[in-house]
Structure 1
């Protein structure tokens, strides 16, 4: 996996398919599910709760120090 980090505003960071690096060093993927939106922790495969809207997800999950990641994932 190749990862490049870029700093952006929450409005740019939180979009379906984006990968985010948290200030804790964990890497997260934003996904759209049948029930709404959620976050997948790519560091430990944890899936967070579902949110009805992207704004609900941002309000609950977004924290200072998060940044957008330009990542290339290879699935075997």
Structure 2
């Protein structure tokens, strides 16, 4: 996995397909579920978080200071 970090505001960071890193070192992927809105997948420990109807609800509940947008290249085997 190739990773480059970039800091941005929450509205720019939180978009479907974006990868985010927090201060604790966890790496997250923002995804859209077909019928259930949006969710966050923790790529560090394979945990899937609650579903949100809107991206704004996801941002309100999940966004924290110290998170950064990651330019990541994922390889699925």
- Give the TM-score band, short-chain normalised: over 0.9
Which consecutive unaligned segments of at least 5 residues does structure 1 have? none
User: Runs ≥4 in structure 1, deviation > 6 angstroms?
Assistant: none
Q: CA deviation at 1:38?
A: 0.2
Tell me the number of residue pairs that the alignment of Structure 1 and Structure 2 aligns.
76
C-alpha separation in 2, matches of 1:37 and 1:60: 12
Q: CA deviation at 1:19?
A: 0.2
Which consecutive unaligned segments of at least 5 residues does structure 2 have? none
C-alpha separation in 2, matches of 1:9 and 1:68: 9
* CA RMSD between the two structures: 0.5
Cα displacement string for residues 10-35 of structure 1 (whole angstroms, at most 9, x for unaligned residues): 01000000000011110000000020
Query: What TM-score results when the alignment is normalised by the length of structure 2?
Result: 0.97
Query: What TM-score results when the alignment is normalised by the length of structure 1?
Result: 0.98
Are positions 1:59 and 2:60 aligned together? Answer: yes
